[in-house]
Amino acid sequence: MDRYDDWTLLQMGSLPRNAHIHGLSSVEDLLERDRQREQDGFPRKIRIGRLVKPSRGGKERVILVPTTVEEKFIHDTRPFQEEGGAGGGSGDGQEGEVIGEEPIHGSEGSGQGGAGQGEGAEHEIEASAYDLGRILSEQFQLPNLQSKGTKRTLRRIAYELTDRHQGSGQILDKKATLRRLVATNIGLGRVRQDAEIDPTELLMGPDDKVYRILSLEPSLEAQALVFFVRDYSGSMSGRPTEVVVGQHVLIYSWLVYQYQRRVETRFILHDTEAREVPDFYTYYNSTIAGGTRVASAYRLVNEIVEHDNLARDYNIYVFHGTDGDDWDSDGSQTLPELDKMLTYANRVGVTVAHGHGGNGYRSRVEEYMGRAKLAERFPDRFRLDTIEEGAGEERLVEGIRQLLS
């Protein structure tokens, strides 16, 4: 009798053991399958999402998980406007009474790879960002950035245990010691070619011990400094911010991977005034209602670079996210600052996120930057990308490809 027919298995009262486990494929397999889809002529489906658990004290845990959406014909129940009904509730309170508040960015809740999430726990976001960067590089096959301008690499001094020293040192190099020991004893005639070696018979000289010692190692390594600049004026609230910050998270992750974690970041927010904030969390969560002066931010970046003399030692990247609005409508203040920035930056990437897709509509920033022919004058250094505010993660990655290529 076939022991594995359905009848027997079910009668034995146990479902086939681990029937549901054997098929589980690893994330790498799944990504491989996703690559295969493209060759078969179907769009990719797997995205890398982030689960975030917020907690008090600003320490959030971030976990990277693959996600996918099964597309179907389903009713679109998203409200037209952001305002509207949010579900049911129970308890006291008059109609119209406010019963709670939620932060503008928190509404995505945990789960799903939504827009970028804040971080505070440095190491954990670092680790996750590195993974995300790795997966981004592999999955989306972003172009690897050329290490431009090697003259700007930094002579780093590192101490490494690579040099050998006889007689004293930090760590005994056993292999080298043995080799030397045998050589000495061959010289002494205590070891014969065909006879077996008896280690107890070997004599050891004081110089036979080989140690590794700490030594100065100069190394040439590229370092990256990334300025994330974001417009946080009133007009940015809601989707444009999510788009910009979501993209900046991805860029950050990718650079962390690309530069093997040797990335330094500076975060700058601006409305009419620009200010530097200490961490990504503040960068992500700040909102304010104010006007917009792009020039202020660029000026601040230039000042920082100049003051700290950063251009000599770093590959500098500036990523700026805005909705394209600027009080400086003809760019007369912004463009000189931008020109100056482009003299030292490896790449300036401007993302314009606005809700007026198509129709040939161009925001002020796009307009004056277009007029200044920046893309022609600095073909290697300047990129401008316009994203509709409803863009999904795929579009964001496409945008990164634009900004980094």
Site for other proteins, residues 218 to 247, rule: CB under 8 A: 234, 237
Strands 154-166, 171-172: pairing kind: unpaired
Contact 238, 104 (CB under 8 A): yes
Of 30 and 304, the one with the shorter C-beta distance to other proteins is 30
- Contacts with other proteins in 269-288 (CB under 8 A)? 287-288
Least distance in angstroms from the C-beta of 25 to other proteins:
5
Pick from 340, 373, 108, 137: nearest CA to 245 = 108
How far is 138 from 46, CA to CA, in rounded Å? 13
Question: Which residue in this structure is represented by tokens 């939504």?
Answer: 114
- Applying CB under 8 A, among 1, 3, 56, 72 the residue interacting with other proteins is 72
Of 77 and 146, the one with the shorter C-beta distance to other proteins is 77
Pick from 140, 355, 342: nearest CA to 251 = 140
Q: Is 2 in the site for other proteins (CB under 8 A)?
A: no
- Applying CB under 8 A, among 2, 3, 20, 216 the residue interacting with other proteins is 20
- Applying CB under 8 A, among 1, 56, 80, 193 the residue interacting with other proteins is 80
Least distance in angstroms from the C-beta of 265 to other proteins:
25
Q: Is 99 in the site for other proteins (CB under 8 A)?
A: yes
Pick from 133, 134, 146: nearest CA to 405 = 146
Least distance in angstroms from the C-beta of 83 to other proteins:
5
Contact 296, 233 (CB under 8 A): no
Least distance in angstroms from the C-beta of 326 to other proteins:
12
- Applying CB under 8 A, among 102, 194, 198, 376 the residue interacting with other proteins is 102
Pick from 378, 400, 376: nearest CA to 387 = 400
- Contacts with other proteins in 156-195 (CB under 8 A)? none
Q: Is 73 in the site for other proteins (CB under 8 A)?
A: yes
- Contacts with other proteins in 37-66 (CB under 8 A)? 40-43, 46, 49, 51-53, 61, 63-66
- Applying CB under 8 A, among 89, 109, 218, 278 the residue interacting with other proteins is 89
- Contacts with other proteins in 308-337 (CB under 8 A)? 325
Q: Is 24 in the site for other proteins (CB under 8 A)?
A: yes
Least distance in angstroms from the C-beta of 226 to other proteins:
27
- Applying CB under 8 A, among 91, 206, 278, 379 the residue interacting with other proteins is 91
How far is 43 from 89, CA to CA, in rounded Å? 40
- Applying CB under 8 A, among 8, 107, 215, 405 the residue interacting with other proteins is 107
Contact 230, 274 (CB under 8 A): no
Q: Is 154 in the site for other proteins (CB under 8 A)?
A: no
How far is 221 from 156, CA to CA, in rounded Å? 7
Q: Report residue 396 as tokens.
A: 């964001």
Q: Is 109 in the site for other proteins (CB under 8 A)?
A: no
- The beta strand positions in 222-273, using DSSP E, are 224-231, 263-270
- The beta strand positions in 244-288, using DSSP E, are 263-270, 274-277
Distance set, CA 246 to CA 118, 394, 398, 399, 405 (Å): 10, 11, 13, 11, 19
